[in-house]
Amino acid sequence: MRKPVAAALAAALALALAGCGQRPADPGTSAGDVTPSSAPAIPTPVSPTPVNPTPVNPTAREAPVKLGPQAQDALARARAEGARAVAVTVSTEPGQVERAVAGLRGLGATVESSDASVGYVRATVPVDEVARVPGVEGVRQVDVDEPLSNGDPAP
């Protein structure tokens, strides 16, 4: 009883080692007649041919970030009140605070504070540019605060 089981295991092992798509054994031999000299060679692992995929941007998102309903309402109020700028709080992708700060400055924003350890940027952005903030590289989420007054703070 042990010989048929051992022969079947040896045959299965030989087939597994030979790999899929190999030529079948010589018709004159049976699956149980596997000897070291007639066993197929162990195939060497072959790496698949690399395909040139589209480069992946590590900060790319599945869906673009958009301003939420509260942010849109705050922006609409700011426009209605004639505000020239609004304060925004930006959450960034990990390690992307500096990139987000540079992008915000490129929109004409004044960066008030940032904290790379938590991925936070606080900035004042011109009202006409706020809609572009979610598209800044490294930005994960944008919150628009209440409109800033345009009054002169001098007494």
Class of the 69-147 domain?
A: alpha beta
Q: What pLDDT does 68 receive?
A: 84
pLDDT digits (tens, 9 = 90+) for 10-54: 666 566 555 544 555 555 555 555 555 555 566 555 555 544 443
86-140 tens-digit pLDDT:
999 999 999 999 999 999 999 999 999 999 999 999 999 999 999 999 999 999 9
| DSSP character string of the chain | -HHHHHHHHHHHHHHHHH-TTPPPPPTTS-TT---TTTSPPPPPP-PPPPP-PPPPPTT--SS-----HHHHHHHHHHHHTT-SEEEEEEEE-TT-HHHHHHHHHHTT-EEEEEETTTTEEEEEEEGGGGGGGGGSTTEEEEEEEEEPP-S----
Per-domain residue ranges of the chain: 1-44, 69-147
| Residue with more model confidence, 2 or 93 | 93
Q: pLDDT, tens digit, for every residue of 55-85? A: 444 444 444 567 888 888 988 998 999 999 9
